[in-house]
Amino acid sequence: GYINQICPADFVVGPFFVCVSPADAQPTEAEREIWEEVDVVLKDAKAILDELQAYKGAGPDIREAIQNPNDEALQEKAWAAVVPLVGKLKKFYEFSQRLEAALHSLLGALTSETYSDPTQHLEREQALARQFAEILHFTLRFDELKMTNPAIQNDFSYYRRTLSRMRINNVPAEGENEVNNELANRISLFYADATPMLKTLSDGTTKFVSENKNLPIENTTDCLSTMASVCKVMLETPEYRSRFTSEDTVSFCLRVMVGVIILYDYVHPVGAFAKSSKIDMKGCIKVLKDQPPNSVEGLLNALRYTTKHLNDESTNKTIKSMLQ
């Protein structure tokens, strides 16, 4: 009975456990086409995270070049260091576009009118729900790594400054074919955001909702709030928590929970923090605060800085102070 009070969707926890446990949920025939399309994108996600984690930046070379503006050799050395890095940054940005397209397909399936409520969608389309969870997990992990790596923006702005200087001086730049000006503007905007992947997904979800005016908005928000309560219940209930095989599963659940909260906050007319929100925000924040502090700082920051409605007048004071 206790769980039912906090999560009317308790009966979904059993089947949905598949979505948060590493075991592969196999797609049904109905899901297969979309599943395969998204699988191709997810297969590349791990390599992207590995590359981002290993991204060291060209800081020392750039500093040397700036401090010795007349030393041609140092200018060339910095440029040679930055060009391949910009190739990586471009690749990450292009991946964000692929990820958004994959999210779009999944939302289409998980919110369609095939089933009467979100719980049924998550039960009958476990393989797709699992992929949706994996996209969110990737997104929050990417943004955690990006947030702690100032080299990314420094490298890119140095690249742009140098490129424009070369153009003024009519120096042919071999790195220019990598990134034209219009693309450079988009990439700059992408990395200027504290949490660029989340921003991409939030905008993508908002776009999905506005493009599907005939679809009740609840189809989308209920799917998100159901996933949030499932993650919360699994994290705060000892009997479920004890079934987690590793800490990785815990961090997976935490990231998915925060991801769906943020998407909900963007898409729902009054957001995740309002009284009428279907997400128990106090409960979710409490679950985050109960983890070892260094492991969730990035997730708390995502709630602080990437949500849309946290600072609204109507947001409960307790919730605001929990996130101080």
pLDDT tens digits in sequence order for the chain, 324 residues long: 333 333 334 444 554 554 454 456 688 888 889 999 999 999 999 999 999 999 999 999 999 999 999 999 999 999 999 999 999 999 999 999 999 999 999 988 888 766 666 666 666 777 888 888 899 999 999 999 999 999 999 999 999 999 888 888 877 766 556 688 889 999 999 999 989 999 999 999 999 989 988 888 888 888 889 889 888 988 888 887 777 777 788 888 899 999 999 999 999 989 999 988 999 999 999 999 999 888 898 899 999 988 889 989 889 899 999 998
HSE-up of residue 129 (Cα within 13 Å, Cβ side): 30
Residue 23 forms part of a structural domain: no
Q: Residue 13 falls within a domain, yes or no?
A: no
**What are the residues whose beta carbons fall under 8 Å from the beta carbon of 49, sequence distance 6 or more?**
138, 141, 142, 145
Domain region containing 44: 31-323
In a domain, 18, yes or no: no
Q: What's residue 280's pLDDT?
A: 92
25-40 residue pLDDT tens:
688 888 889 999 999 9
Report CA torsion sign: 96, 101, 106, 108: positive
Question: From CA 69, how far away is CA 75, in angstroms rounded?
Answer: 7
Q: Write the CB contacts of 148 (distance below 8 Å, at least 6 apart in sequence).
A: 298
Q: Is 21 buried (19+), middle (13-18) or exposed (0-12) by CB count in 10 A? A: middle
Q: CA end-to-end span of the chain, whole Å?
A: 33
pLDDT at 8: 39
Compute φ and ψ for 312, nearest 5 degrees: -60, 150
For residue 266, what pLDDT is reported? 92
Question: What is the predicted pLDDT for the residue at 177?
Answer: 60
Its pTM stands at 0.85
DSSP code, position 27: P
- Note whether residue 17 is domain-resident: no
The answer to whether the beta carbons of residues 236 and 283 sit under 8 Å apart is: yes
With 0-12 / 13-18 / 19 or more C-beta atoms within 10 angstroms meaning exposed / middle / buried, residue 217 is middle
Among 96, 94, 85, 92, CA closest to 154: 85
25 found inside a domain: no
Q: Where are the alpha helices (DSSP H) in 268-292?
A: 281-289
pLDDT at residue 3, rounded to an integer = 37
Domain membership flag for residue 268: yes
Whole-number pLDDT of residue 120? 67
Looking at residue 9, what is its pLDDT? 40
Residue among 321, 227, 236, 317 nearest 283 (CA): 236
Residue type, 225: S
Contact 288, 299 (CB under 8 A): yes
Residue 6 counted as domain residue: no
Helices (H), 111-150: 118-124, 126-147
User: What is the per-residue pLDDT for 117?
Assistant: 65
Whether 133 is in a domain gets the answer yes
- Token code pair at residue 147: 């947030």
Q: How many folded domains does the chain comprise? A: 1
What's the sign of the alpha-carbon dihedral 72, 78, 83, 89? negative
Report pLDDT for 6. Answer: 38
